[in-house]
Amino acid sequence: MGVHDSFANSGLTYLDGKWEEGNVPLMGSMTHAAWLASAVFDGARAIRGLAPDLDMHCERCVDSAQKFDLKPPVTAEEMLNIAWEGIKKFPDDVVLYVRPMMWAESGFVSPDPESTRFTMVLTDSPMPDAPGFRACLSSYRRPTPEAAPTDAKAGCLYPNSARALREAASRGFDNAIVRDQNGNVAEFATANLFYVKDGGVFTPQLNGTFLNGVTRRRVIQLLRDDGHEVVEKNVTVDDVMDADEIFSSGNYAKVSPLLKFEDRDLQPGPVAKKALSLYMDYASTQGR
Give this prediction's pTM: 0.94
Q: Say if residue 105 is in the same domain as residue 137.
A: no
Inside any domain, residue 2: no
Return the exposure string of 58-89: e unless at least 16 CB atoms fall within 10 Å of the residue's CB, then b: bbbbbbbbeebebebebebeebbebbbebbeb
Which value, to the nearest 10 degrees, does the dihedral of the CA atoms of residues 218, 223, 225, 228 take?
A: -150
Spatial CA neighbour of 221 closest among 288, 282, 151, 270? 282
Position 29, amino acid = S
Low-confidence residues of the chain: pLDDT under 70? 1-9
Return the exposure string of 95-131: e unless at least 16 CB atoms fall within 10 Å of the residue's CB, then b: bbbbbbbbbbbebeeebbbebbbbbbbbbbbeeeeee
Of 70, 104, 124, the residue at which a domain comes to its end is: 124
Q: What is the pLDDT of residue 129?
A: 85
Label the pairing between strands 175-179 and 133-141: parallel
Q: What is the pLDDT of residue 9?
A: 54
Q: Say if residue 113 is in the same domain as residue 183.
A: no
Spatial CA neighbour of 63 closest among 48, 46, 47, 75? 75
Inside any domain, residue 288: no
Q: How many domains are contained in the chain? A: 2
Question: What are the beta bridge partners of residue 41?
Answer: 101
Spatial CA neighbour of 288 closest among 102, 35, 55? 55
Distance CA 260, CA 103 (A): 38
Of 100, 124, 148, the residue at which a domain comes to its end is: 124
Inside any domain, residue 110: yes
Q: Say if residue 14 is in the same domain as residue 65.
A: yes
Q: Say if residue 261 is in the same domain as residue 139.
A: yes
- The tens digit of pLDDT for each residue in 144-196 reads 999 999 999 999 999 999 999 999 999 999 999 999 999 999 999 999 999 99
- The tens digit of pLDDT for each residue in 121-154 reads 999 999 988 789 999 999 999 999 999 999 999 9
Distance CA 75, CA 87 (A): 18
Inside any domain, residue 23: yes
Q: Say if residue 252 is in the same domain as residue 220.
A: yes
